[in-house]
Chain A
């Protein structure tokens, strides 16, 4: 008798999905791959919610009469469609899902630079989503996703504040993701992986992150000002109160036009990867594609004024913005031509991701070319606020971006899920989406050209045929989107197990990742703080812009306002803050040299000086209150130029209030650092938190250095 052979099952390789199964392990994960999946689930929910609103809008527009929704409901639906799709789906889609999952794998890092911050950014996203959900269930908001003033600040009776708060919060999620990526790309690359060896997807994430950290703070301060005007009825943007609604549009589009590039740049990065892999050929013009991403990020910041051609913007500024808007077409063209050249004589394989990539090129090109129409000063007047604009930006943001996103999801699905999706269903759905999309939006170009304005729930009879075509297309498009959702879920259970590299791709993410050396962490934290400070400059920058503009418009009133401030108190407070910067510098020196008593003493004095500054500030504010100089709360000033003086004082309170808030946070941080120092946590080898906290404190000091002349000193001798 022979013994039966013992069969040993091959061990299941442990991976990020199987390492732990509990809900807690997902909700507290610091693994970039799991955080990417948390985002994937969240934004998929947002996509279908935004899609539901779109479907309702298209159904309403099936007939010329407003017969499905009331006019107010229609307004609320297109507002929610825009907010959900832009802020909660498109902006986080590729960076937060595919970027989080792939960036460390692509550069050979163990994780992103700040894993805890990465998880925090998802929670912040969910908090923003909670406020938006509250807005929805409590009656909605009807301003459009653009929140144009003074409608949003004075006239709308809907839930503007909670919607604005949701967007304000979700903006910080975007900033933190961008900050994390920039530091990761700078500091966590595997040795030897130089800039011009990086995957093009990484270049696109880098360019996107620049926009996220520098533009989003301006949106945050813009929304804050909308909330201030709405709650306190002070004249910021409302012309009836001396404000300027065009200032709002400048500030809003300074963020929101580059935001289009936040949406499309990562899509371009994905497409660059897909085309290289499925053309089985080296990327043509790698360097030009890489640098064109950065060029788009920078030039994208210079073109926002083309949204204001008919809003009262000066003709000269419009000419400048028109010219600059044409410029941004150059790097976009560089990309399209290089992709085409990569395809040329390539061994093109029409797998699902490639079908999406080809669809992207076609749709993005159409969206880009029609953008040139809108950059033209004369033609823009004809098609402004018509369906031509709606079609144009959907060709970019849906035709371009969503195609790239779906292409990327299919491409990396084997890496994400360990399963293959059904290839034929993939190809069929890509074609359905392409056809459905064109049927939905191409008629809208014609409608817009014929003069049908956007944002109306009824229209003249002669537009019906084109609207029916558009709604039919939307139904096909909706079905097309449901297909990948269904078969990708199906593949999780029934899909064939995926090999490590099903496409024969060359990227590092398809190989075993190499972890970076641990010594890079200090520099990462320092760079992270400097980038954070750059976002802070932009946050204050929105108010400084308001100040500059209104000082230019009301020079005498601002001089009168300035004269009511005490130069003595301003000067003393400046001295106090400068002294605190000195003690902070001393504390960093003490931490570096291991002088614990000096460290504690310097931190203690810093905290005291911070409190003294706030004390003087509170005294000043109290004095202004008694003088009736607090706009929106107690403003009794009746001298000459009262409206302009009010304008000066709301800017004064906004700037000094936000500064004081920063200082208060700084005092809290210093108190924590002092406690840690008391417990002996810092040594000459480890004192990074002291340095990082010090950088923040000095920044608050630098802001005040500019506030002193801005508010107290300049132009005091004007009549």
Chain B
């Protein structure tokens, strides 16, 4: 399937996922709140990128460019949080 019919299907899926993530936010699922919400968001983003932005029909270098930003954002967040999340673990002031 391709063209407007596929776009419509994706739109319905996106709206459905939005409804789902809002519904889940009203449930008290404790520490699972963030993983669930961001898994749904990542799925939606992937749908937009693959279908609306035509990434699924694109060749390697566009995939590389599309992933580069997210990969480098991961480096920035993970390494910075490796500092923030481990502060005060050692009983040394300031460490």
- Chain A residues within CB distance 8 Å of chain B: 186, 210, 214, 218, 246-247, 250, 254, 301-302, 304-305, 308, 312-317, 320-321, 526-527, 530-531, 533-538, 541-542, 544-545, 548-549, 552-553, 567, 571, 574-575, 578-579, 581-582, 584-586, 588-589, 691, 694-695, 698-699, 701-702, 705-706, 708-709, 712-717
Q: Which of B8, B26, B92, B95 has the most CB of A within 10 A?
A: B95
Residues of chain B within 8 A of A588, CB atoms compared: 54
Residues of chain A within 8 A of B76, CB atoms compared: 218, 254, 538, 541-542, 545
Residues of chain B within 8 A of A527, CB atoms compared: 61-62, 65
If A316-B89, A527-B65, A552-B84 touch, does A712 touch B79 (CB 8 Å cutoff)? no
Q: Nearest CB to that of A712 among chain B residues? A: B25
Q: Nearest CB to that of A316 among chain B residues? A: B86
Contact A709 B38 (CB under 8 A): yes
A-B contact count (CB 8 A): 178
Q: Nearest CB to that of A593 among chain B residues? A: B3
If A527-B62, A534-B65, A574-B18 touch, does A714 touch B48 (CB 8 Å cutoff)? no
* Cα separation A218 to B40 with both chains bound (whole Å): 26
* Cα separation A342 to B33 with both chains bound (whole Å): 58
Contact A698 B33 (CB under 8 A): no
Q: A312's contact among B22, B30, B94, by CB below 8 Å, is which?
A: B94
Q: B44's contact among A317, A553, A705, by CB below 8 Å, is which?
A: A705
Q: Nearest CB to that of B35 among chain A residues? A: A714
* Cα separation A302 to B72 with both chains bound (whole Å): 10
* Cα separation A10 to B37 with both chains bound (whole Å): 75
Q: Nearest CB to that of A211 among chain B residues? A: B72
Q: B69's contact among A321, A537, A549, by CB below 8 Å, is which?
A: A537
Contacts A/B (CB < 8 Å), 27 sampled: A214-B72, A301-B72, A304-B79, A308-B83, A314-B84, A315-B95, A320-B79, A526-B62, A535-B69, A541-B72, A541-B76, A549-B80, A552-B84, A552-B85, A578-B14, A579-B11, A586-B4, A589-B4, A695-B53, A705-B41, A709-B25, A709-B34, A709-B38, A712-B25, A713-B24, A713-B37, A716-B26
If A302-B79, A549-B84, A582-B11 touch, does A702 touch B72 (CB 8 Å cutoff)? no
If A301-B75, A320-B82 touch, does A709 touch B61 (CB 8 Å cutoff)? no
Which 5 residue pairs across A and B have the least CB separation, nearest first?
A537-B69, A534-B69, A709-B37, A317-B83, A530-B65
Q: Nearest CB to that of B30 among chain A residues? A: A717
Tell me, rounded to whole Å, the shortest Cβ–Cβ distance linking A571 to chain B. Answer: 5
Residues of chain A within 8 A of B18, CB atoms compared: 571, 574-575, 578, 708
Tell me, rounded to whole Å, the shortest Cβ–Cβ distance linking A320 to chain B. Answer: 6
Contact A582 B8 (CB under 8 A): yes
* Cα separation A536 to B51 with both chains bound (whole Å): 20
* Cα separation A314 to B8 with both chains bound (whole Å): 50
Q: Which of B19-70 contact A (CB under 8 A)?
A: 19, 21-22, 24-26, 28, 30, 33-34, 37-38, 40-41, 44-45, 48-49, 51-54, 58, 61-62, 65-66, 68-70
Tell me, rounded to whole Å, the shortest Cβ–Cβ distance linking B65 to chain A. Answer: 4
Tell me, rounded to whole Å, the shortest Cβ–Cβ distance linking B16 to chain A. Answer: 10
Q: A250's contact among B40, B54, B83, by CB below 8 Å, is which?
A: B83
* Cα separation A247 to B28 with both chains bound (whole Å): 31
Residues of chain A within 8 A of B95, CB atoms compared: 314-315
- Chain B residues within CB distance 8 Å of chain A: 3-4, 7-8, 10-11, 14-15, 18-19, 21-22, 24-26, 28, 30, 33-34, 37-38, 40-41, 44-45, 48-49, 51-54, 58, 61-62, 65-66, 68-70, 72-73, 75-77, 79-90, 92, 94-95
Contact A533 B40 (CB under 8 A): no
Residues of chain A within 8 A of B41, CB atoms compared: 705-706, 708-709
Q: Nearest CB to that of B18 among chain A residues? A: A574
* Cα separation A531 to B66 with both chains bound (whole Å): 7
Chain B interface main SS type: helix
* Cα separation A469 to B69 with both chains bound (whole Å): 47
Contact A302 B52 (CB under 8 A): no
Contact A571 B37 (CB under 8 A): no
Contact A706 B45 (CB under 8 A): yes
Q: Nearest CB to that of A701 among chain B residues? A: B48
Tell me, rounded to whole Å, the shortest Cβ–Cβ distance linking A527 to chain B. Answer: 6
Q: Which of A308, A579, A582, A716 has the most CB of B within 10 A?
A: A582
Tell me, rounded to whole Å, the shortest Cβ–Cβ distance linking A659 to chain B. Answer: 14
* Cα separation A472 to B14 with both chains bound (whole Å): 69
Tell me, rounded to whole Å, the shortest Cβ–Cβ distance linking B36 to chain A. Answer: 9
Contact B84 A530 (CB under 8 A): no
Q: Nearest CB to that of A559 among chain B residues? A: B33
Contact A314 B68 (CB under 8 A): no
Residues of chain A within 8 A of B92, CB atoms compared: 315
Tell me, rounded to whole Å, the shortest Cβ–Cβ distance linking A565 to chain B. Answer: 11
Tell me, rounded to whole Å, the shortest Cβ–Cβ distance linking A37 to chain B. Answer: 30
* Cα separation A588 to B2 with both chains bound (whole Å): 13
Q: Nearest CB to that of A590 among chain B residues? A: B4
Residues of chain A within 8 A of B66, CB atoms compared: 530, 533-534
* Cα separation A712 to B18 with both chains bound (whole Å): 12
* Cα separation A56 to B10 with both chains bound (whole Å): 64
Tell me, rounded to whole Å, the shortest Cβ–Cβ distance linking A521 to chain B. Answer: 15
Tell me, rounded to whole Å, the shortest Cβ–Cβ distance linking B94 to chain A. Answer: 5
* Cα separation A147 to B37 with both chains bound (whole Å): 37
* Cα separation A536 to B77 with both chains bound (whole Å): 16
Contact B52 A317 (CB under 8 A): no
Contact B53 A698 (CB under 8 A): yes
Residues of chain A within 8 A of B75, CB atoms compared: 301-302
Q: Nearest CB to that of A213 among chain B residues? A: B68
Contact A538 B69 (CB under 8 A): yes
* Cα separation A398 to B61 with both chains bound (whole Å): 35
